[in-house]
Amino acid sequence: MLGGGHGFLQNRFGLALDNLVSARVVLGNGSAVTASDETRPDLFWALRGAGHNFGIVTEVVYRIYDVPLENKWVFAQMFFTADKVEEVFAVTNDISNEGDQPIEIVSFIEYRSVPDIDSEKPVIELLFLYEGTAEEAEEYLSLYRQIGPESSTLVNATYPDFARLVRFSKQDAACSEGQLHVQRFPADLEVYNITTQKELLVKFGDMIAGNPFLNNSFYIFENYGYTAVKAVPDESTAYPDRFNAYLIAPALIYTNSTPENDEIARQAGEELRSIAVGGRQDGRLYAYVNYANGYETLEELYGYDAWRLEKLRSLKQVYDPDSRLDFYAPIV
């Protein structure tokens, strides 16, 4: 939450950190303080976007919302062969509208290996959630159906089903603890560059073919919608990225973590990320800090605004002068 908190309902209610009302925080010197808009507002500002640098949160007051009485959602899953990649992302760009997508829609696209569909190339998987009925969702799903999926399923769902349906549960590879090793290489995009998306798919396929130990990996493109996120004033929190609409990252997954395999995965991930960033008009990397792998710069994690970095460094000296909270993405 303190790094941002993307989620299924952010198009309605903003990021998780946007709904934090106050926090009880243990600082690096062992003292416990309260941070809110009224009490230590400077610390409260820093907590929302870079909180892991400033303290350990032990208690929060949090804004919550009623579940709609009907709570009806539908979930669609479609698989497309690699030759359809440009069409899939063209439709996604049209629907998502640079983050101003219909409030009922959350979607994900993944590149992954599915030998039953294509034994040589990765395929494109669409995971599509819609708040409403199947008939209402069809206005958008029909645009994907016209492309010609290899398979398509549609089921009714409720909010508690989402993590399982999109494979974000604790039992799924990207989120589990244990024997699997996962390296992520996040980047944020304002719009999908169709040419770049095709290049990423080809490179991802080459990576898997050349390194079979990575064949459980996937490349995810997360489309939550940004309407409520962009409505929050940019300067009101430390969170730096309220203008990029899409959160993307290859998740390179393998069981045999050796120095050699780790380096192969790192180089492959950085190459994929470099291609993704090259498709941006500004050529800049914006990396979601909660997905960071440790190779990013401060600007890439906390934004390119000089005033924001200066403020974070200044507050770090106030609230953690001995740098006891530098375990992850430290502000230095």
What band does 67 get if pLDDT is binned at 50, 70 and 90?
A: confident
Distance CA 301, CA 309 (A): 10
Distance CA 176, CA 159 (A): 21
Distance CA 24, CA 59 (A): 5
Mean pLDDT value across the chain: 95
Mean pLDDT for the stretch of residues 197-224:
97
Give 248-305 pLDDT, tens digit per residue: 999 999 999 999 999 999 999 999 999 999 999 999 999 999 999 999 999 999 999 9
Distance CA 240, CA 309 (A): 10
**C-alpha 148: how far from chain center:** 27
Structure tokens that stand for 289 in this block: 């800090």
Alpha helices in 38-175 (DSSP H): 41-50, 85-96, 134-145, 162-165
CB 64 within 8 A of CB 329: no
The percentage of the chain sitting over the pLDDT mark of 90, rounded to a whole number, equals: 90
Reply yes or no on whether the pLDDT at 175 is more than 80. Answer: no
**Tokens 């708040």 belong to which residue?**
131
Mean pLDDT for the stretch of residues 182-201:
97
* Of 92, 198, 97, residue with least CA distance to 147: 92
Reply yes or no on whether the pLDDT at 33 is more than 70. Answer: yes
CB-based contacts of 127, cutoff 8 Å, min separation 6 = 75, 76, 77, 107, 108, 109, 110, 165, 166
Reply yes or no on whether the pLDDT at 179 is more than 70. Answer: no
What band does 174 get if pLDDT is binned at 50, 70 and 90?
A: low
**Tokens 């395929």 belong to which residue?**
123
Give 112-135 pLDDT, tens digit per residue: 999 999 999 999 999 999 999 999
* Of 317, 327, 285, 245, residue with least CA distance to 46: 317
Q: For position 99, what pLDDT does the model report?
A: 84
* Of 316, 310, 311, 315, residue with least CA distance to 330: 316
Reply yes or no on whether the pLDDT at 176 is more than 80. Answer: no
What band does 168 get if pLDDT is binned at 50, 70 and 90?
A: confident
Distance CA 68, CA 54 (A): 36
